[in-house]
Amino acid sequence: AQSVSQHNHHVILSEAASLELGCNYSYGGTVNLFWYVQYPGQHLQLLLKYFSGDPLVKGIKGFEAEFIKSKFSFNLRKPSVQWSDTAEYFCAVNAPLSGNTPLVFGKGTRLSVIA
Amino acid sequence: NAGVTQTPKFRVLKTGQSMTLLCAQDMNHEYMYWYRQDPGMGLRLIHYSVGEGTTAKGEVPDGYNVSRLKKQNFLLGLESAAPSQTSVYFCASSRTGLETQYFGPGTRLLVL
């Protein structure tokens, strides 16, 4: 079964600091990869996704993620965080060649940005 | 275009009571999902549906039932609520099983 690991449970950064959130998955075949964000009190929204092509994916609000197949990783990055980036971030994966497999989510990383 | 809506937003139940959560989507999506979100556990899939009239079990299906009688609606039922079912429940939908899922605003359920 697929699994997704997000190693950081809670990250605290000052405004303007750079961000990198780790995501590793266990599946060895072709994967679709997603990062979702949940702002306080809100529902999940898509930040970015990777299906194929350029492994460096750019999303909304200045976020990007890099797919490194050899490391089974899809880390999320942002060069300079803002207070409004305070949220919980979820990595998710599914396997398009394995039938109708639903998305598997990581446990999430809570990001707190302080002034 | 409302996207994905959930009813109710908040509910308090006593142990043993039953209730139904309603999810509706207006995007003509085939796939619909029910998740529960608990602190430190992320999102866990309860049940999902790949089309009208179909349902399938997810990671944590016990204690829940679902129905998808109409394409736009996906109902989650708790027949006999337990305190362990205290959680925030999110519904989502997607055009196919591999594409972006769109989430509803959530239902906060407290079982006493």
Dump pLDDT digits (tens) for A26-74.
987 888 999 999 999 888 999 999 999 999 999 999 999 999 999 999 9
CB-based burial of residue A114 (10 Å sphere; 0-12 exposed, 13-18 middle, 19+ buried)? exposed
Distances (CA, A) of A68 to A50, A72, A81, A101, A113: 11, 6, 23, 22, 27
For the segment B70-91, the average pLDDT, to the nearest whole number, is 96
Nearest to A49 among B48, B100, B104 (CB): B100
The residue of chain B with its CA nearest to that of A101 is: B97
pLDDT at site A98: 66
For the segment B80-108, the average pLDDT, to the nearest whole number, is 94
Q: Does B41 contact A107 at a Cβ distance shorter than 8 Å?
A: yes
pLDDT at site B83: 97
A8 vs chain B: nearest CA distance in angstroms? 11
Q: Does A34 contact B100 at a Cβ distance shorter than 8 Å?
A: yes
Q: Does B43 contact A105 at a Cβ distance shorter than 8 Å?
A: yes
pLDDT at A100 over 80: no
pLDDT at site B40: 84
Tokens 């599946």 -> residue: A27
For the segment B42-56, the average pLDDT, to the nearest whole number, is 93
Q: Does A102 contact B97 at a Cβ distance shorter than 8 Å?
A: yes
pLDDT at A99 over 70: no
Residue B107 DSSP label: E
* Of A90, A84, A36, nearest in space to A59 by CA: A36
pLDDT at A78 over 90: yes
- Does an H or E element contain A36, and which? strand A32-38
Mutation test of the interface with chain A: which of B45, B101, B102, choosing the one with the most A Cβ atoms within 10 A?
Answer: B101
Q: What are phi and psi of A81, to 5 degrees?
A: -80, 155
